[in-house]
Each structure stands twice: as structure tokens, then as C-alpha cells.
Structure 1
Amino acid sequence: MTTTEPLPQLPFTPGATVLDVPPAYRQLLADRRITKVRTTLGDVAWIATRYDDVKALFADPRLGRSHPEPEKAAKISASAVLGGASGDYETEQRDHTRMRRLLTPAFSARRMNGLRPRVKGLVSDLLERMAAAGPPANLHESLSFPLPVLVICELLGVPYEDRERFRKWSGEVSNLLDEQLAQAALAEFYGYMVELIGRKRDDLGEDVISDLIRAEDEWQVGVEETAALSVGLLFAGHETTMTRIDMGTTLLLSNPDQAARLRSDASLLPTAVEEILRLSGAGGGGGGIPRYAHADIEIGGITIKAGEAVLLPPGVANHDESAFDDPDTFDITRKGGTPHLAFGHGAHFCIGASLARIELQEVFAQLLTRFPSLRLAVPVEELQLRTNTLTGGLQALPVTW
């Protein structure tokens, strides 16, 4: 799938700060609705950047994660997660519907709201430890990483004491450039889950993995599928929320007027979290969520041919001025009926959206009031993105008070 055609090359150079959209994405938003780019590994894929196109393509049933000839599919990156085609081309839609039906009860809004008091307590405990240690602190290590890991471990029934292993595997699995490293990490992660499932089988609890084990006969779920689902849930359940906590804190501390409004008016919390979700996802290095055309698709004056790869970057679409007034401004009182695309859209809408919202709401309900003088310990220009991983985010978040 490689060609000599000169095309924009992923990953794009980051913006001036971690809060800025990479200039190449701005160019595409302004000039080209849908265009071809060269992926991190040199293959060719289409990329859509404007809100209406990204939303429409997310919902288009002619796009999927599978490819009829996976060995010929364009590779997006070396990552073992979203790095290329996956799933069975003949049964993808049926398999996805079955998976959603299997997992939806575990991630229902009602069940997630039942977790809120526990999440609130975990946030409080972590902030108390940060306060006791005294300034300065690396918020990434004190809060952004441990909170989502604690929550998803409890939900899945995974030992929290293994968190450093998850951190290592997650970083390596999502590495954009080293395929051997990514695949080896995925094999270790998967093997760990198979072993854990074997141990849990004789001591079932009230957790998602135990639920999957109980569903083996009714849903015909084998240990391989349970392990693969568990790896995916653990990876997504902490990596993405960790990134949002880091970036949301950076947005608030870089906009002290907005932080002051939120500190004085707790009713703004839900809209503040939605604004954080809207603005905190444009810095990932992978280029977007990959899909493959299962039929020819006409959109934006171009034809995406069957088999071609398509990248959908929700964080970039969330900066489209045709969808959002003054889209680069962080406004926790933002009104309007245009929903952001941070959780995707359509059949693949993120199953953990309710949980992520609860975690973010509890973090920002407490962080600014517990530390009223909280501020960045370094200029925002010195914060560094994780550019070699799929989910992006910050390498560290130094704060003081």
C-alpha cells in the first residue's frame, strides 16, 4: 500500500503548546475536507477533519474495523491497538452487536452512577496524599494515572497492585513505531488476563470479568474472547481518562478566569467537563480512529474506494469553526446543541462514556477547591506530549500551590 505520491506525513508536528492543534491539522481544516495522507508506517489513508464529515463517517455502516484482505490493508501505525485492520470481515457487524449487548449492562448509566460515591472517595484520598506530600507535585503521577487505574481495576476485578505492569504494557502496546515491541507487550498483557481468568473462575466476584465468565454458556464466550475484551477495556479505561485529567487540568490552569468560575459555581461542572472533553483530544500522534471502507463511499466530492483506509480524528473535528463558535476558546459555559465527538458517534460510541464523565466530574469537583492556589509549576510551553503513543497525553504535569 506504499506509493511515491507526495502526501502529508503522519505524525504531524505538535503545536506550540500541548493545548494547540498541530498546524498541519489546521491547514487541512481550512483547505481540504477529506484528503489522503501518509501514515506513520508509510501507507496511504484518507483523513477527514471537518465535524460533519467525521460524524457522518463514524455512523456510516459501510466503514468497519475489518478488511477482506487484512494482509493488504493499509497499516496506520505499529501499535497493536488500532494500528491496522482487525476482526472478521464476514461477521464484524454481528460480532460487534453481540459484544455491545454483552457489555452494555456492565457499563449502564445506572451502574456507573452507583460507582460515583466510590470514585468520589478515591479522588479525595489521592488528593489528601498529594497535599500531605506537599508541593510541588507531578499531578500525572499523583492523580491522573492512579485514579482511572483504581476505578477500572475495581470494575473489571483486576488487582490494582499490578498497575505498573499495566502501565508498561499499555505504553508499549500503543507504541506507534515499534511493532515488535507492541506485539510482544500485547502477548504478555493477553497472557496475564488468561491467567487471571483462570484464577477467578474458582472465586467469582461482582465484577465485569466474573460476569463474562458467568456468561460463557449463554453467550458462548470463550476464555480467548474474555481475555481480549478485558485487555481492551483495561487499556481504554485508564489511558484515555488519564489523558483527559492531565489535559483538563492544564486547560483550567492556563485559563484562570475559567478555573475561578468553576471554583465558585459547582453547577458549571457538567458543561466544564464536556468542554474539557471537546478540547483535550487533538494531540494524539496516531492520526485518528482507523476504519476501512467495505464499499465505495461518496463524501465531500471524493470517492473512498472499497478497501481503503480512513482516519477519523474526533479531537480535530471538535475544533471545526463550522460546528463550534470560536472553537479554540475554552469556555466552561459553552451553550449550543452541537455535541462533541470525543466519544465517537453511532454504533461505536464509547461504551465507557458514562464512567469517564463521572471520573472527570469528581476530579474537577474537588481539585480546584482542595487546592485553591493550584498552578502549573512550569510554563505551559515546557509541558511535553507523549508523541510516540496512540493516546497522546502528557509525559508529566508539574503543579504547585
Structure 2
Amino acid sequence: MADPAATPPRFPQARGCPFHPPAAYARLHAEAPVTRITLPSGNRAWLITGYEQARRFLADPRSTADRSLPAYPAVLPRQPVTKAQAKGLLTWMDPPEHTEHRRMVVNEFTTRRLRQLQPRIQEIIDGCVDRMLATDGPVDLVEAFALPVPSLVICELLGVRYADRDLFGRYTIAILNRDTGAEDRVAAWRQLRVYLSDLVDDKVANPGEDLLSRLVLKYQDAGTFDHELMVGLSMALLVAGHETTANMIALGVLALLDHPDQRAALVADPSTAPQVVEELLRFFSIADTSTSRVTTADIELDGVVIPAGDGVIVLNSLANRDPETFADPDELDTTRAAARHHLAFGYGIHQCLGQNLARLELQLVFTTLFGRIPDLRLAVPSTELSYKEDATFYGVYQVPVTW
């Protein structure tokens, strides 16, 4: 039995292999799927690594997603954020506020809406592939494809003016680029927020057929329109739909290049794309700490009591590798039927709103990219790639490819 006075193991830890969570996490899971950890700040928190325990905790209403709380288990250093600055960020909200605003947004991601958007998403993907093929190669897949595809899709969704899309892209790339200094990153966030503020004003004055215009009209009709709330919602949609999808595109391409038989099966039968995408989502679980919470009451899980007021990290990457739920979980198996039960999009009331849009983008991306460039390959050894160990969402910084 562990010494209760001993310092809990540190979190996070470095990966030994870019395709797998740190081996130490698996050992923690084997000892106890609910355990104490020590954060980089020195604060203590709880780590949940079991699949069933993760689902039970995320479905329990006795916790808060408020990231401004001192007990919130931040893994990376962060600037203090006030409630006012977090306005419109759904992932920070609790019921009933969260319920009200989620209800306003959720219908924008229905199957019918996505069917309407699908031809334009396909055009965007084809355009990026066309530009890649117009070069002699090699190209950085991240810069040429993985980043611009979701960026342009978000522009389409929000109704960003065509003439502003390069500007919009520069802001987002500056925010995501690891070489951007802290001051420049903050400046890019501010510039982007100013731009989105102006965009909201434009949608109020000249509503169109885009998502942002529809949201403006919905809130106006309900008598609850709030300019800053709309800016926050736009920022939330941008972050949730841009960086995460970009990282999954780059990692998914790497995984399929590393598994040529599974890539060939996808090219031979593109109808398998939905299952391929679910397995890639399970396998990488790039937003593995985004379901962190602070308890508002004592919560008991399998005999372990997490006291009220404690920070909790639900580690999706381990929950999605739980051998009691997924057979041979460390193997990438794009025929895995159980993959659809993964927690990569979270679980419970905060389950990702845009998950079906992300699925559609990824399905179209992988079938189109490998269908049109069947001899796509890495231009450098995979050991030379640099991965996002230091970021909120796991990914890879550059992927030089050729054909």
C-alpha cells in the first residue's frame, strides 16, 4: 500500500513514444484508476485514468468547469482570467448558464446543417491539395494543409469576409506557433478578439446565412443579445474547431503513413472513413486534459473519496486505452468497432458541440488526401519530428512530406 504521506507522482510526464501516452501513466492506472498527483505548480490534484470512472465522474453534476478557480488543475502556466474575460466560453460555464447557451448553439451542428456545408468543406480540402501538388515538394503538411483546412472551414462557418481570411489566418497561426513570444501571442489574441468584435457588429448590421449571423438573430429574438458574449462564443468556436482539428489531421496522417496496410484499406474503400476516424480519435485523444474540473461536493469513485474543492483531471488518453473497455488498446486498429465509444470529445454536458463537424472534416481529409496523393510519404525520418509536449492539445509542429 502506498504511503499516504508520500508526495504523489508528478504530472504531466514526458512521452517515450509520440504515439503513446507516457508509460508511467499506465502504471498509475494499473495501481489505481483514481489517484493523487502533483502538478507543476506544486499543487495536488486527482487523476482519473479508468474509462468507467471517467464516465461516472463526467456525468456527475457535483463539479464545476470554472477555470478561473484557484483549485482548477492547470497543467500549463496561465494568465489569471476573470469571469468577464471568460464570457461566452462554453467550456467554462456550469448549468443553468451553460444549458441556456448550449441550447442556442447546438442546432447549428445538426446533420442537416453539415450536409449543407459539406460541398464547401470538400472544395476547401481540394484547394489545399491542389496547391500542394502545384509545388515540387517537399512541403510542410502542417503549414500547407493541416492548419489551413480547419481555419478556412471556421471562416466559412463564422462568415469571415473572404478578403479578411489571410489576416484571420495570420492571427491564429501566431497564437498557435511555438516560436511566437509571450507578448506577441497575447497581442495576437487581442487583435483576433478586436477583429471578432468588429465581425459581430457587422453581423448585427448585415446578417447573412452564416452561423454567427444566425446566432445573433437567435439571441436578439430571445431578448438576450450581448455583444461580448457573442465575441466569446466566436472565440470558443475558433479554438475548439481549429487547433484540435489541425492537430488531428497531422497526427492522423502520420499514423496512417506508419500503418500502410490500414491506409491502403481506407483508399480501397473510402466508406470505412467514419470508423477510421473514430479509431484515430481514440488512439490519440489529443485533448486529454480538457475535461478537468473542480469538485463542488465530496464524490466517491470505487471507494476513493475526492473531497469538495479539489481539482480533478480526467485523462482521456488513458481512459481511451483502458484494456477493460478496448482490447489491445495500444494497437491502432481502424477496424475496431468499439472505437466509437471513445471519450476523445469528452462526456456529459460538456461533450464537444462541434464533434460531428470535426468527424466530417477528418473523414473528407483522409479520403481526399490519400486518394489524390497515394504515394504521400515523409520527407524526413519520423524521429526528427517535434511533438507538442508543451501544449494544451497534443500534436506535431511540422510534418515535411513529399510524393
With structure 1 as the length reference, what TM-score do the two structures score?
Answer: 0.88
Q: Does 1:195 align with 2:198?
A: yes
Which residue identity lines up with residue 8 of structure 1 in the other structure? P
- 2:77 alignment partner in structure 1: 78
Q: Does 1:223 align with 2:227?
A: yes
Conserved 8 A contact 1:78-1:182: no
| CA 1:276–1:130: 2 relative to 1, 3 Å | same
- 1:60 alignment partner in structure 2: 60
- 1:331 alignment partner in structure 2: 333
Of 355, 358, 363, 1:356 maps to 358
Matches within 5 A, 1:314-329: 314-329=316-331
| CA 1:310–1:167: 2 relative to 1, 3 Å | same
Deviations 1:88-133 (A, max 9, x none): 9xx8211110111110121112101221111111111111111111
Deviations 1:3-34 (A, max 9, x none): x9623223311222x21221222222222211
Of 160, 167, 175, 1:169 maps to 175
Q: Measure, in 2, the Cα distance between the counterparts of 1:278 and 1:82.
A: 31
CA drift of 1:39 comes to: 2.2
CA drift of 1:382 comes to: 2.2
Which residue identity lines up with residue 250 of structure 1 in the other structure? L
CA drift of 1:249 comes to: 0.4
| CA 1:31–1:72: 2 relative to 1, 3 Å | closer
Matches within 5 A, 1:34-113: 34-66=34-66, 70-71=69-70, 73-79=72-78, 92-113=94-115
With structure 2 as the length reference, what TM-score do the two structures score?
Answer: 0.88
| CA 1:126–1:184: 2 relative to 1, 3 Å | closer
CA drift of 1:232 comes to: 0.9
Conserved 8 A contact 1:76-1:83: no
Q: Measure, in 1, the Cα distance between the counterparts of 2:45 and 2:321.
A: 21
Secondary structure in structure 1 of the residue aligned to 2:215: helix
Percent of pairs identical after alignment? 35
Q: Does 1:260 align with 2:264?
A: yes
- 1:160 alignment partner in structure 2: 165
| CA 1:6–1:182: 2 relative to 1, 3 Å | farther
| CA 1:287–1:37: 2 relative to 1, 3 Å | farther
Conserved 8 A contact 2:50-2:318: yes
Q: Measure, in 2, the Cα distance between the counterparts of 1:278 and 1:105.
A: 25
Of 254, 269, 273, 1:269 maps to 273
- 1:124 alignment partner in structure 2: 126
Q: Measure, in 2, the Cα distance between the counterparts of 1:379 and 1:300.
A: 45
- 1:237 alignment partner in structure 2: 241
| CA 1:138–1:101: 2 relative to 1, 3 Å | same
CA drift of 1:251 comes to: 0.7
Q: Measure, in 1, the Cα distance between the counterparts of 2:276 and 2:389.
A: 26
Which residue identity lines up with residue 172 of structure 2 in the other structure? F
CA drift of 1:400 comes to: 1.6
CA drift of 1:184 comes to: 5.9
Secondary structure in structure 1 of the residue aligned to 2:134: helix
Secondary structure in structure 2 of the residue aligned to 1:326: coil
Of 179, 193, 217, 1:214 maps to 217
Choose 73-82 or 133-142, whichever is displaced more. Answer: 73-82
Q: Measure, in 1, the Cα distance between the counterparts of 2:150 and 2:225.
A: 27
Matches within 5 A, 1:273-352: 273-281=277-285, 287-336=289-338, 339-352=341-354
RMSD: 2.8
Q: Measure, in 1, the Cα distance between the counterparts of 2:295 and 2:184.
A: 29
Which residue identity lines up with residue 56 of structure 1 in the other structure? R
| CA 1:93–1:370: 2 relative to 1, 3 Å | same
CA drift of 1:171 comes to: 5.3
Choose 247-256 or 216-225, whichever is displaced more. Answer: 216-225
Q: Measure, in 2, the Cα distance between the counterparts of 1:126 and 1:386.
A: 24
| CA 1:72–1:48: 2 relative to 1, 3 Å | closer
CA drift of 1:242 comes to: 0.5
Conserved 8 A contact 2:73-2:292: no
Unaligned runs of 5+ in 2: none
| CA 1:338–1:144: 2 relative to 1, 3 Å | closer
Q: Does 1:13 align with 2:11?
A: no
Conserved 8 A contact 2:278-2:339: no
Q: Measure, in 2, the Cα distance between the counterparts of 1:181 and 1:81.
A: 18
Q: Measure, in 2, the Cα distance between the counterparts of 1:337 and 1:213.
A: 37
Which residue identity lines up with residue 170 of structure 2 in the other structure? E
Matches within 5 A, 1:361-372: 361-372=363-374
Q: Measure, in 2, the Cα distance between the counterparts of 1:215 and 1:61.
A: 28
Which residue identity lines up with residue 273 of structure 1 in the other structure? V
CA drift of 1:73 comes to: 4.9
Q: Measure, in 1, the Cα distance between the counterparts of 2:364 and 2:260.
A: 19
Choose 315-324 or 180-189, whichever is displaced more. Answer: 180-189
Conserved 8 A contact 1:62-1:293: yes
Q: Measure, in 2, the Cα distance between the counterparts of 1:82 and 1:388.
A: 20
Secondary structure in structure 2 of the residue aligned to 1:336: helix
Q: Measure, in 2, the Cα distance between the counterparts of 1:288 and 1:227.
A: 21
